[in-house]
Structure 1
């Protein structure tokens, strides 16, 4: 049996209580992070370990963690590695601790008090699944599609009551079993920001692991929410989305994914360039990101400013 086949057989047999570690990556958002960690403390089923990765914050994040949250293991990245790099560092820090699964949260996400209990119970209800999240979607014929309503999700296969099978999920809020992480590795550190929510879980499904999402998203994302590309987000986000989606398609050697990425980028760029839209900065960022994706110019290549 291959390593992945062994991991899948272990997943199918596991039904008992889990030991769970939480990973959060943060930068310059001490007050927001404090709210999130407060929500973690309020969980009816707390995690066995908590890691916060500080991406070279210039505010009082480190002081706050040391003073108010002594139970949190702090990993200092030493530089701004982005959310993808930060999560990879956090998952590495939890290696060798005898954990069965990893809970991942953005630093601005407020889980309801029973969130982790609900996630663990979902994996018991669908033991064939290697991860469960709150939002997700499919990739068909190169098109990445997010399903955000119960009505849309109802068209997807059900693995257990209230749980729908997806090709990827938002890693924010997700619970992933250790065997899946060991088999496919860590989030794509060279992406820096954006598209890790698609590439990382999709890497798991391509390896044969199954993922599910709840039919209703109960998380409160305090800062960014679920806004789409037309919500006034800064141009650097458009850059990283375009660059990383192109790079993902090229690394997967998938003409369909590449065609889907280029079609999406062209559609967005044309929309931004419409008379009256007045968003030339984001249109240029999309073009810049597309070219850098083809060139393989990865990592932190554009400085993020704003949310």
Structure 2
């Protein structure tokens, strides 16, 4: 089991860099950030770009992995994204993981002036976006014409520091997403069942996650791949236990133990933000970071 964190890009770098340094000092396996142009209750406050933030974080850390949870096609194009990822992987010395999914109906879905895509349209685009991005990160030059994306001799020399490319952590809860995770993912990401967010129970959430893990296993079997070769990442904070999760080390260890039994290999905690959905006692959070894993072993 690995423990990681999400640091939202809400502070100017003169202040924000302290959090990224502290995350590494606390021993987190990875620190991620959301790849949005704005997000929910933070929409009217400061919010900085994900990839520039991660690039800056790479210069003030040495060991911790860095990444997005998650990037989507909502406002990205595979050609330009590939170039930025190769650059970030180089600056970080090969410490980048790309969390990526189909996207949703949030602010990012319409900010460029387009109509929000239907779930089917999002799945169609993602099904084209991810294979093209895979090629762009592994081939020196790519030409491609699809229904939604094109590339004309897109050059990506020298490629990623990590070979054959930086790892993908594919967010998926539906059949098409699971197939993509099984085909292209080095990890799979979930937040649980959103239907249980408001009124579900912890037991219902565990059963829903058990079902998702089983669906991933089925997709891997169909792809001729061992499901054990894919890391299973739970981005916490969106399950019924969210209010108690960071209340104490014991509460977190109990939560983590249930999810380790389901097969999860990485749990991701939101860095506390006062007076927000991610408010938590900073001292308890840091104690969890330094003590919880030893109690799980």
TM-score (norm 2): 0.28
